[in-house]
Amino acid sequence: MAASSSFLLTPSLSNSKSTISFASSVSPSLRGVVFRSSTPASSHRRVMTVRSKIREIFMPALSSTMTEGKIVSWIKTEGEKLAKGESVVVVESDKADMDVETFYDGYLAAIVVGEGETAPVGAAIGLLAETEAEIEEAKTKAASKSSSSAPPAAAEAVAPSPPPATSSPAPAIPQPSPVAAASDGPRKTVATPYAKKLAKQHKVDIGSVAGTGPFGRITASDVEAAAGIAPSKSSVAPPPPPPSATVKATATNSPPLLPDSSVVPFTAMQSAVSKNMIESLSVPTFRVGYPVNTDALDALYEKVKPKGVTMTALLAKAAGMALAQHPVVNASCKDGKSFSYNSNINVAVAVAINGGLITPVLQDADKLDLYLLSQKWKELVGKARSKQLQPHEYNSGTFTLSNLGMFGVDRFDAILPPGQGAIMAVGASKPTVVADKDGFFSVKNKMLVNVTADHRIVYGADLAAFLQTFAKIIENPDSLTL
């Protein structure tokens, strides 16, 4: 199969003379064809007439983490003619919007999943007819699919009506009679220690007391009732609710919404971020901070800024060069049993966009020229904000850089992305009073860098050595322009 942004189409052929079924879900193949002919074996000629060829358009998998997609817009309308390689629909994956092309000529016969609706990967989102005459047949097929999926939905709407009875408070659910349960076999006196103590104290024959506790257990209140005294409040204990009722009550006892509040479902991107953040909690991490003098870097930035170089490009280049000297920080552990040294240094940089967060990747950041790196970064940011990044442009990072210095944040910790060995959090550069070895004070610009690392593969000494190298590159940045 070709790129993931292409339709998966299933041909369906019918024949008055022969029946043909294809094993392939993409295109007809003689290896997958089974012929059944109604003509006599003695006939030397077989007439084959194809009446229709209607293909299902499936929701494509646009990334390795995508489980469902949202239809942003249909570029083509029902009945419109399509040409091979033409964009037909825009699909929103968990990270970007992508135009999806078709591999076949034909007509967009029916749209099964409308704009704004979601469908799991592999589900039919439309039907493609080979000829104009087959459009009506395809529409009938789409209508039958919709009607066949309607009853389960109706059943789901009706089914929830009984559960409210179980979601009510536990005491409303009647408990089985403990006496009846005890009469099923030989009677055995079961009582709580405090009930036995009370029976001895009040001279009550505990064997003649009917227990009201779980499984006929005799409680203190039972003994007090048999002795004819008022039960103490401390001894009255309601029977425990059934486990199912407890689980149900827990699920429904969430805090109520405040007045004028509203519930907003996650977008596909927010769902992906949420999933990654939860996954990262299973990784044992540690953090190391390091102050870096930025006077020389600030001076270099003022020189190269008119040429289009950004501070992000300078930091990514410095991180890439430091990673080249400390490959273990660029390594990754994905199965918890082994780790791999990555052959490329791909620095992902966190970018906040409308409705989420994405990490465009500067591939081979250690090798690219600073000016080319800056140009590439501008292109990636533009594509990220228009949600046009390709999967390899946001999911191939081996190390991540997150910079909040432009907001005046002096320090913060970043959450390690799954599948990476480390992430660097860069704060703002601020004037700081420092003392030299001779005791003289001066003011220098300092920024604090915090790195979060996977402790399964990166140890404290590794991270400290990496940060020392990074600081030396920043404090003597001439090598960044070579």
Active site residues: 455
Tally of CB atoms within 10 A around 368: 19
Question: Distances from the Cα of 197 to the Cαs of 175, 206, 213, 215, 345, in angstroms?
Answer: 27, 10, 17, 20, 75
| Closest to 429 in 3D by CA, of 406, 412, 413 | 406
Secondary structure tally for the chain: helices H, strands E: 10, 21
Owner of token pair 């009930």: 195
Question: Distances from the Cα of 405 to the Cαs of 174, 316, 370, 423, in angstroms?
Answer: 62, 14, 20, 15
Sequence-distant (≥ 6) Cβ neighbours of residue 112 within 8 angstroms: 57, 124, 125, 126, 127, 142, 145, 146
Instruction: Give the whole-angstrom CA distance, residue 70 versus residue 373.
Output: 33
Q: What are phi and psi of 427, to 5 degrees?
A: -95, -175
Question: Distances from the Cα of 142 to the Cαs of 73, 108, 136, 260, 410, in angstroms?
Answer: 19, 12, 10, 40, 58
Owner of token pair 């099964």: 112
Instruction: Give the whole-angstrom CA distance, residue 397 versus residue 359.
Output: 8
Instruction: Give the DSSP H or E segment for 150.
Output: helix 135-158
